[in-house]
Structure 1
Amino acid sequence: MLSMLGFCMIATFLFLVIFKKLSVVVAFVFVSVAFALIGGFGANMGEMMMDGIITVAPTAVMIVFAILYFGLMIDVGLFDPMVSRILTFVKGDPLKVVMATAIITIIVGLDGDGSSTFMITISAMLPLYKRLGMNRLILACVVALAAGVMNIIPWGGPLVRASASLGVEVSDLFIPLIPVMISGLLWTLFSAYILGKKERDRLGVINLETTQTKGLAEQAIAAEKGGTRLFWFNLLLTLTLMVLLVMEVLPIQILFAIAFTIALFANFPNPKEQQEKILSHAHSFVTISTLVFAAGIFIGVFSGTKMMDAMANSIVSIVPDWLGPHLALVVALTSLPLNFIFSPDAYYFGILPILSETAANFGVHPAEVGRAALLGHSTVGFPLSPLVPATFILIGLVGVDFGEHQKFLLKWAIGTTVVMTIIAVLTGAIPF
């Protein structure tokens, strides 16, 4: 009975989200309340929901300060000189242009927002592709690959969702994935090299000295001369933050909070300007934090009523014993294709908890299942999915057909997931 109630709860949530009957936040809360009452758990409903909110609170705090920090770094131009010099270096060489596309996407992708990454990178690179007569499907492909791998970062949507839905610390998911993520980025650069070399062979190197590249060179020099002290301060602060995150000297939430306040005070000593900077990024962190807290309510009811346990037991009874210990690997290999069926919220909050609870019965830790999911779903696979609005921002800006984009990108995206899965197994991030 409890298992059936759980399946009905998940099915209802998926229906409401996939067919856009309700927003995700509203669906989380409405479905939680409805099924808690239907199951006769009304008396304990509030306590369950609060337990869920408390569980996801650290994740929400991390999101707020991470978005604020990298948003501030982009605002003050920390990455501008680097991007400008890259663009001036490529000139008329298609190979360099494609490689620069990957590198710039990686840099811009640090903000954790796929849509803004697409807009900034494509705005910078598309004129060069047009001027050189390059294949714009390559632009869309390389940007998608780099942005997809960068979406694994702790303040990106997929990892936040996985952390909230599984009740796992962000650092437990991310730290073991660092070598995996690096391998994905190296594969992206390798893919960019292959695609760029083909374009160079097709078009040759064109002697190109545009007003745009001259202007970018001047911007780079001006940026370095005009704000040298703060530029180097911001760079040192960011590098220090990255090192401390890996070393886990303090909880990730605290490190971001401290780094953001230091950066905000150093760059904008005026309290009014500080407040304006915080408000300028409010939309980004309020949206995703609200989602996380609403998910906490949902997960609180889902687990507190023991529906999740009952569903997992039902699935365990039909999973072959030989397959159970390898469920994390199954999740990794199916994570990319499931982008075509489930939206990020539907997958991470509806499907992943059941998979995790099932795998736990075979001795697989929830963090390992979460890492496996991050190797494809809503990371490498999100620029392929028709269920993710950012995908249409990408193809709209580049000006390519969606079907052609999917066909061109698919084999490179599959390659990325396969490479990362191999490295994840070799490093022990997921069990074989």
Structure 2
Amino acid sequence: MLSILGFSMIAVFMYLIMSKRLSALVAIMLVPIIFGVIGGFFTELGPMMQEGVEGIASTAIMILFAILYFGIMIDSGLFDPLISKILKIVKGDPLKIVVGTAILSMTVALDGDGTTTYIITVSALLPLYKRLGMNKIILATVAMLSMGVMNMTPWGGASAMAMASLNLDASELFLPMIPVMGFGLIWVLVVAFILGKGERKRLGVVEIQHDHKNSEANSELAATTVSRDYRRPKLVWFNFILTIVLMASLIIDFMSLTILFMIAFAIALLVNYPDLKDQQDRIAVHSKNALAVVSIVIAAGIFTGIMSGTKMIDAMAITLVSFIPESFGPFLPVIVAYASAPFTFFMSNNAFYFGVLPIIAQAADAYGISAAEIGRASLIGQPIHVLSPLVAAAHLLIGLVGTDFGDLQRFAVKWALGTVTVMTIAAIILGVI
């Protein structure tokens, strides 16, 4: 009965989200409560939910301050010199332009926000694509491929959801994935080189004199609509060093990611915006994005708390294991790595990571495969996920570039699948899955 109740709950949850009957935030809290009551657990739900929320509190705090930190870095103009440098170097060479697109989008995507990444990348480079007559779908494809890899960061969404649903911390789930992401980014550069070489062959190299004023205009346009008053060009090196130190500290793992981002954010905010009014303005600007992500992660604590506390997840796992051939068991991480691509394309990350992943992880436990390993494998399908029409930022990109969604998907899907394959192979070789 618990298994039937659990699968019914997942089905209702996914239907309500995908049909847009309820928002993910509301569904992820109310659906498990209703099914918990139906299952006869009414008096026990309070402690279950409390335990679930407490279990993911640290992850939610880390995501909040990571979003705020990278927001400050973008506002202060950390990426402006990079944009200007790329525009100066690429000039009229289609090959350099496409590779420059990859480098810029990878860097900006550090904040984990597809909207910001697409706005900056397209506004900085679209004029060059138009001037040379280059294929604008290439611009969109390369930006999406970069976002697909960088979306695996804990503050990007997918990792946060996986950590919340499996009750893992970033050191267990994300840190082992860093070298895998590195191989993914190398693949994106390879794709950019191939596509750029094709455009160079088609169009040739056009001599364009670098116009400093135009470069500055493009840089300002790419500045995510932030007023020039908030730019801090004299602090670029300070912000760069602070970010490098932060990234190195994350890898060394000598302190929790939550504390590291809290400290880094406090330093960045104080140094860049010592005036209290400016600090309040910057926090207010980024609070919308932060709230959208953090609220769903905290709400997921109710979902996971009830799933675990009622033992529904255990019953569902037993049922699922009974349908998996014994010989397939050891290969579950690889299966999950590829299956996560279509799963997250046809359904939202919320539905997959909170509805499907916990069941798979529990089933994998029967074969001695850890939840962390399944969680890492589930992230590898993100390059396909960003092509989904369910992703709001993808529609923004289509509008910015001025192309058709179907054309972009047909052009980009093979390269995105290549990213998934490269990262899966890398993960297996490195022992990450």
- Specify the TM-score bucket, using the shorter chain as the normaliser: over 0.9
- Distance change in 2, residues 1:116/1:400 (3 Å): same
In the TM superposition, structure 1's runs of 4+ consecutive aligned residues that sit over 4 Å from their partners are: 210-214, 217-220, 226-229
CA–CA separation in structure 1 for the residues paired with 2:149 and 2:93 = 25
The aligned length equals 424
Counterpart residue number, 2:432 = 429
Counterpart residue number, 2:257 = 252
CA–CA separation in structure 2 for the residues paired with 1:382 and 1:227 = 35
SS in 1 for 2:154: coil
Question: What amino acid is the match of 2:128?
Answer: L
Give RMSD over aligned pairs. 1.7
User: CA shift at 1:213, angstroms?
Assistant: 6.5
Instruction: Answer yes or no: is the 8 Å Cα contact 1:138–1:195 preserved in 2.
Output: yes
**Alpha-carbon displacement from aligned partner over 1:51-103 (angstroms, at most 9, x marks no partner):** 11011101100011101111001111111111111111111110011011101
Question: What amino acid is the match of 2:50?
Answer: M
- Distance change in 2, residues 1:108/1:42 (3 Å): same
**Alpha-carbon displacement from aligned partner over 1:119-155 (angstroms, at most 9, x marks no partner):** 2211111111111000111111111101111111121
Counterpart residue number, 2:243 = 238
SS in 2 for 1:373: helix
CA–CA separation in structure 2 for the residues paired with 1:252 and 1:124 = 32
Alignment of 1:347 with 2:352, yes or no, is yes
Unaligned residue ranges in structure 2 (runs of 5+): 221-227
CA–CA separation in structure 2 for the residues paired with 1:218 and 1:9 = 49
Q: How does 1:377-388 map to 2 (within 5 A)?
A: 379-388=382-391
Alignment of 1:25 with 2:28, yes or no, is no
**Alpha-carbon displacement from aligned partner over 1:231-271 (angstroms, at most 9, x marks no partner):** 22111111111111100010000000011111111112222
Q: Which one of the candidate residues 417, 421, 427 is aligned to 2:420?
A: 417
Question: What amino acid is the match of 2:404?
Answer: D
Instruction: Answer yes or no: is the 8 Å Cα contact 1:17–1:24 preserved in 2.
Output: yes
**Alpha-carbon displacement from aligned partner over 1:160-202 (angstroms, at most 9, x marks no partner):** 0110011111221111111100000000000000000000010
Question: What amino acid is the match of 1:348?
Answer: Y
User: CA shift at 1:230, angstroms?
Assistant: 2.0
User: CA shift at 1:306, angstroms?
Assistant: 0.2
Instruction: Answer yes or no: is the 8 Å Cα contact 2:344–2:385 preserved in 1.
Output: yes
Q: Which one of the candidate residues 286, 301, 310 is aligned to 1:305?
A: 310
Counterpart residue number, 2:223 = none
Instruction: Answer yes or no: is the 8 Å Cα contact 1:88–1:216 preserved in 2.
Output: no
CA–CA separation in structure 1 for the residues paired with 2:320 and 2:385 = 28
CA–CA separation in structure 1 for the residues paired with 2:218 and 2:361 = 53
Alignment of 1:158 with 2:172, yes or no, is no
SS in 2 for 1:82: helix
Q: How does 1:190-209 map to 2 (within 5 A)?
A: 190-209=190-209
CA–CA separation in structure 1 for the residues paired with 2:209 and 2:61 = 47
User: CA shift at 1:203, angstroms?
Assistant: 0.2
CA–CA separation in structure 2 for the residues paired with 1:255 and 1:160 = 16
User: CA shift at 1:383, angstroms?
Assistant: 2.7
**Is 13-22 or 231-240 further displaced after alignment?**
231-240
Instruction: Answer yes or no: is the 8 Å Cα contact 1:91–1:208 preserved in 2.
Output: yes
CA–CA separation in structure 2 for the residues paired with 1:268 and 1:385 = 38
**Alpha-carbon displacement from aligned partner over 1:261-297 (angstroms, at most 9, x marks no partner):** 1111111222232222212211011111110111111
User: CA shift at 1:398, angstroms?
Assistant: 1.1
Alignment of 1:95 with 2:95, yes or no, is yes
**Is 419-428 or 329-338 further displaced after alignment?**
329-338
User: CA shift at 1:316, angstroms?
Assistant: 1.0
Alignment of 1:44 with 2:49, yes or no, is no
SS in 1 for 2:104: helix
SS in 2 for 1:153: coil
Alignment of 1:284 with 2:304, yes or no, is no
Instruction: Answer yes or no: is the 8 Å Cα contact 1:87–1:216 preserved in 2.
Output: no
Counterpart residue number, 1:10 = 10
TM-score (normalizing by structure 1)? 0.95
Q: How does 1:11-410 map to 2 (within 5 A)?
A: 11-209=11-209, 211=211, 214-216=214-216, 230-376=235-381, 379-410=382-413
CA–CA separation in structure 2 for the residues paired with 1:230 and 1:307 = 53
SS in 2 for 1:323: helix
Instruction: Answer yes or no: is the 8 Å Cα contact 1:84–1:217 preserved in 2.
Output: no
CA–CA separation in structure 2 for the residues paired with 1:42 and 1:300 = 13
CA–CA separation in structure 2 for the residues paired with 1:213 and 1:191 = 31
Instruction: Answer yes or no: is the 8 Å Cα contact 2:152–2:158 preserved in 1.
Output: yes
**Is 21-30 or 339-348 further displaced after alignment?**
339-348
SS in 1 for 2:327: coil
**Alpha-carbon displacement from aligned partner over 1:320-345 (angstroms, at most 9, x marks no partner):** 11111211110002221223322111
- Distance change in 2, residues 1:275/1:228 (3 Å): closer
TM-score (normalizing by structure 2)? 0.95
User: CA shift at 1:211, angstroms?
Assistant: 4.7
- Distance change in 2, residues 1:404/1:213 (3 Å): farther
User: CA shift at 1:210, angstroms?
Assistant: 6.2
User: CA shift at 1:218, angstroms?
Assistant: 11
